Amino acid sequence: MHLPRPLRTLIVDESEAFSACVEAWARDREEIVVVGTARSGDEALAAMPWLRPDLVLADAVLPVVDGFRLTRVLKTSPFAPLVVLATFFASEAAREQALAAGADGFLAKDDFVEGFGLLLRDLVARRAPPASVTRQERSNRPVSRTEPDP
């Protein structure tokens, strides 16, 4: 994957351990550079003007402003970043909720290494997603394994 410059990436997760793992994984990737981390959705929103990320990788389950609400707010910006939501609770309902909120991708945290690599390849290929995405286009996106709802 070749880009004129790496995707400036903000990691939003209340788990310092998960954020550190993502940062370590990203160091070996030429297509992304981590420009910051936030522990909550409201912290991420406060950092957006000065970090100006191209990509936000956020946990779906966050305190105060969850990842779904964070995505909806971010996607109202004329220069909205790509947003990928990740969670340990990767049900089909959560995936649908993420895509309905405007997320460009969704994955299970336990599939992060393989799943995010594939998803990142797709995001890099599209670099600038369309202003609006149809349900059909969403269904063609690569996604990680999700568990069916009971």
pLDDT at 136 (0 to 100): 43
Residues 6+ apart with CB under 8 A from 58: 11, 12, 13, 41, 44, 67, 70, 71, 83, 84, 85, 86
| Sequence letter at residue 35 | V
- Burial-class residue 124 by CB neighbours within 10 Å (0-12, 13-18, 19+): middle
Rounded-to-integer distance, Cα 104 and Cα 50, Å: 22
User: Which domain, by its residues, includes 60?
Assistant: 7-139
pLDDT at 121 (0 to 100): 84
CATH number at residue 121: 3.40.50.2300
80 is a domain residue: yes
104 is a domain residue: yes
Distances, alpha carbon 123 to alpha carbons 31, 96, 113, 133, in Å: 10, 18, 15, 14
102 is a domain residue: yes
148 is a domain residue: no
Would the pTM of this model clear 0.95, i.e. be above it?
no
22 is a domain residue: yes
149 is a domain residue: no
- The total number of structural domains in the chain stands at 1
pLDDT at 63 (0 to 100): 87
1 is a domain residue: no
pLDDT in 10s for each residue of the chain, 150 residues: 455 788 999 999 999 999 999 999 999 888 899 999 999 999 999 999 999 999 999 999 998 899 999 999 999 998 899 999 999 888 889 999 999 999 999 999 988 888 888 888 888 777 644 443 444 444 454 444 555 555
pLDDT at 135 (0 to 100): 41
147 is a domain residue: no
